[in-house]
Amino acid sequence: MLDRKKFALNRIIAPSLELGQFFDFATETGIRKVELRNDLGKRDAVDGLKPAAAARMASDKGIEIISINALQKFNLASMRKKVTAELHQLLELAQTIRCPALVLCPNNDPNDKRPPEQRKDETIESLSAFGPFFTKAGILGLIEPLGFAISSLASLVLAQECIHKSAFNCYRIVHDTFHHFIGPEVPTILGKTYDVSNTGLVHISGVETDLPKGNLRDQHRVLIGPQDRMKSKEQILLLDRLGFEGIFSFEPFSPAIQNLNREQLADKIHQSIDYILA
């Protein structure tokens, strides 16, 4: 059943905060689950701290780190050697900070000229190649389809198929309400052609601008409220009804959210949770 304990904060919600400040902010909001990121222009996902020190800090503040975002371009064969080296580093970090999952993002580049079948094949090959590493580390790989037109993996159903064909059980899928809205699929696939039991994490945000779908970008993602045209609340409630028991993580990229002071941001988060649960 959906309740306040099912929500988490992705660090993109307050990227200017240092790691300890972010943990403190999460505690102030009453949300104890967080996602870290390695794409914030800092030295790494733990701001250059020794991983063991970051783990102690989280533990001391009562914070549970649920994922690291992200291993990029995971399904691009031409980058396999480089990506594999980065994967080993991220898995080691995840183990040290007691983080159970690592997000994998597909290649998202307008210069990617691979035909669809090659993109699919390379996705399966990558999952097959990386599977033993995730299994040995005891870490879950969370594959996140990106709904952008240039994305090499935009479909939940296709991600589900690729996982099945990889023959590894160490993978689940990130359902992102934004990417599901702008991507090629409709909500009615949930529980039908897409099995919600394959979902390991849900990223949530809202969009209020009236721009065409094809023009929507990360910077348009705000917190979920009554004006959200993506109907993210309905997506969340449907996933809950279909048996998803995992975490819903706030991931708004909009500067209008990121630039709020801590008190204002905490209020907005509580308002969003109240709206979702009402």
Q: What is the pLDDT of residues 6-18, one digit of tens each?
A: 999 999 999 999 9
Question: Phi and psi at residue 205, in whole multiples of 5°?
Answer: -160, 175
Question: How many Cβ atoms are within 10 Å of 103's Cβ, its own excluded?
Answer: 26
What DSSP line would sit under 175-205, residue for residue?
EEHHHHHHSS--GGGBTTTB-GGGEEEEEE-
What whole-number distance in Å separates Cα of residue 89 and Cα of residue 77?
19
Written as six digits, the tokens of 159 are 């991600």
* pLDDT for residue 247 is more than 80: yes
DSSP H helices, 32-111, are: 51-60, 80-96
Name residues whose C-beta falls within 8 Å of residue 57's C-beta, 6 or more positions apart in sequence.
Answer: 19, 20, 23, 49, 63
pLDDT-derived band at 255 (thresholds 50, 70, 90) equals very high
Question: How many Cβ atoms are within 10 Å of 214's Cβ, its own excluded?
Answer: 8
Q: State the CATH class of domain 4-277.
A: alpha beta
Report if pTM > 0.95.
yes
Question: Phi and psi at residue 117, in whole multiples of 5°?
Answer: -65, -35
Q: What's 222's DSSP letter?
A: B
- Is 56 in a helix, a strand, or coil? helix
> Is the peptide bond prior to 70 cis by the omega test (within 30 degrees of 0)?
yes
Please report the pLDDT score of residue 103 as a whole number.
Answer: 99
pLDDT-derived band at 53 (thresholds 50, 70, 90) equals very high
Compute the average pLDDT of residues 147-169.
99
Whole-Å CA distances, 270 to 18, 55, 250: 22, 27, 11
Compute the average pLDDT of residues 49-70.
98
* pLDDT for residue 1 is more than 90: no
* pLDDT for residue 42 is more than 80: no
Written as six digits, the tokens of 184 are 């090629």
Contact criterion met (CB below 8 Å) for 66 and 249: yes
Contact criterion met (CB below 8 Å) for 223 and 205: yes
Please report the pLDDT score of residue 18 as a whole number.
Answer: 97
Question: How many Cβ atoms are within 10 Å of 157's Cβ, its own excluded?
Answer: 17
Give the rounded distance of the alpha carbon of 34 from its chain centre: 11
- Digit-coded pLDDT (tens) for 127-143: 999 999 999 999 999 99
> What is the identity of the amino acid at 115?
P
Pick from 154, 127, 125: nearest CA to 140: 127
* pLDDT for residue 270 is more than 80: yes
Buried b (16+ CB within 10 A) or exposed e, 258-270: bebeeeebbebbe
What whole-number distance in Å separates Cα of residue 203 and Cα of residue 127?
21
- Digit-coded pLDDT (tens) for 191-215: 999 999 999 999 999 999 999 999 9
Please report the pLDDT score of residue 187 as a whole number.
Answer: 85
Compute the average pLDDT of residues 85-104.
99
